Structure 1
Amino acid sequence: MINRQLVRIPEHVAIIMDGNGRWAQQRGLPRAMGHRKGVEAVRDVVRVAGEVGISYLTLFAFSSENWSRPEAEVTDLMGLLKAFIRRDLADLHSQNVRIRVIGSRDNLRSDILPLLIEAEETTRHNTGLTLVIAFNYGARDEIVRATKKLAEKVARGEIAAADIDSQAIENQLDTNGIPDPDLVIRTSGEERLSNFLLWQAAYAELLFVPEFWPDFSRDIFHAALETYARRDRRFGGVAPVATAAVS
């Protein structure tokens, strides 16, 4: 268990939940079983985040590139998402968890979009952990959509091109109002961001752990937070140099 008095807790943790399929294949199971086991890991991580005082937890649930996977696997993933929202929404709401969904909502299936909206609306006024679900999300697509919105504002004469700065872009991103992640964790041993929060993770601490997502336990999460606490975050600057006292 983390000693909150000794460990610096990140405000925002983002996780790339990778390795469900490989977890299943190693055990001779269908890939769908790995995804189902991964849902259990999601529940554990949400509980831990609330217990230790993390304010924002972002989970990369489904990328805009995942639609290219076999149709049967995509169908199973959609089924798991629907089951998670229907089964866990009331519990999350009772825990004061606020749900926010990021990603493109264009052309989403008619049985998915209403559930995502329901999850957001039901928990809109909760004040505890904000659980951000990145669904149909790709960072490049997010940035393209943001810049198109700004271009349209310029075309309408609402702003001048010279007014566009980093803050103007951030205001148009899906994550508007959400602080940048302090820590990005990726499971399964892969060491890349895979088009996840590319703008927001500019100064995040990155941590790659070897365990597949279904094996991401409370203890592994606690260890990751302790590793983060030992990092020296300088945000492009330099660490202060201790000077000797002059007598």
Structure 2
Amino acid sequence: KWYEKWMLKFLKNGAKIPQRIAIIMDGNRRYAQERLHADKHEGHKHGLQKLIDTMEWCLELGMKEVGVYALAINNLKRSKKELDTLFDLIKSSFQRFAKQREFFEKNGVKVNICGRLEMLPKDVQEPLFDVMEETKDNTNC
């Protein structure tokens, strides 16, 4: 999009770029309902895509560390249907990331996931650990 290109150009031409930022993923369900007139799952998918876009911008800008707060323990109190779709999204995304080893190596991206992963279903934990294992030796960011 034009504004994204403009913002990247603006930031690269003299703006002081932070080396570390944190992102709190919040409001995806509300966004889906109010703006997209869609179900919660669409909001989660849209939020994930925006996160991926943002991570790419951070790489382009040379940031060294991005923290993402993505899932609170309270989120685990949601309906089984919503949790199942959310877990499927997480699992499929990280399975896809695990296959993108070349991208992570080329950019030196190390993925470290913190939190109480044992609270997640085993089939969701596995791709998370796979990506952390695949990227553990990367050191650029």
| Band the TM-score falls in, shorter-chain normalisation | 0.7 to 0.9
Percent identity for Structure 1 against Structure 2: 27
Q: Return the alpha-carbon distance in structure 2 between the equivalents of residues 20 and 96 of structure 1.
A: 29
What corresponds to 1:118 in structure 2? 130
Contact 1:98–1:120 (8 Å) recurs in 2: yes
Quick one: which of 44, 65, 71 aligns to 2:53?
44
The residue identity in structure 2 corresponding to 1:101 is: I
The answer (yes or no) to whether the contact 2:28–2:44 under 8 Å persists in 1 is yes
What residue is the counterpart of 1:93 in the other structure?
A: 104
Equivalent position amino acid for 2:17 in 1:
I
Structure with the largest fraction of helix: 2
Shift of 1:42: 1.4
RMSD: 1.7
TM-score for the superposition, normalised by structure 2: 0.82
* Alignment-derived partner of residue 145 in structure 1: none
TM (norm. structure 1) is 0.49
**How many residue pairs are counted as aligned between the two chains?**
129
- Structure number with larger C-alpha Rg: 1
Could you tell me which runs of 5 or more consecutive residues in structure 2 were left unpaired when the two chains were aligned. 1-8
> Over residues 34-57 of structure 1, what are the superposed CA-to-partner deviations in whole Å (9 max), with x where a residue is unaligned?
111112111101100101011111
1:25 is aligned to 2:36: no
Specify the code of the residue in structure 2 equivalent to 1:51: E
Aligned partners of 1:75 and 1:108: how far apart in 2? 11
- Work out which structure has the larger RCO, using CA pairs closer than 8 Å and 6 or more positions apart in sequence: 1
How far did residue 5 of structure 1 move?
Answer: 5.3
Q: Deviations over 1:71-96 (max 9, x none)?
A: 11111111111111111333342432
- After TM superposition, which residue ranges in structure 1, 4 or more long, deviate above 6 angstroms? none
Task: Establish whether residue 60 from structure 1 lines up as the match of residue 69 from structure 2.
Answer: yes
Contact 2:97 2:131 in 1 (8 A): no
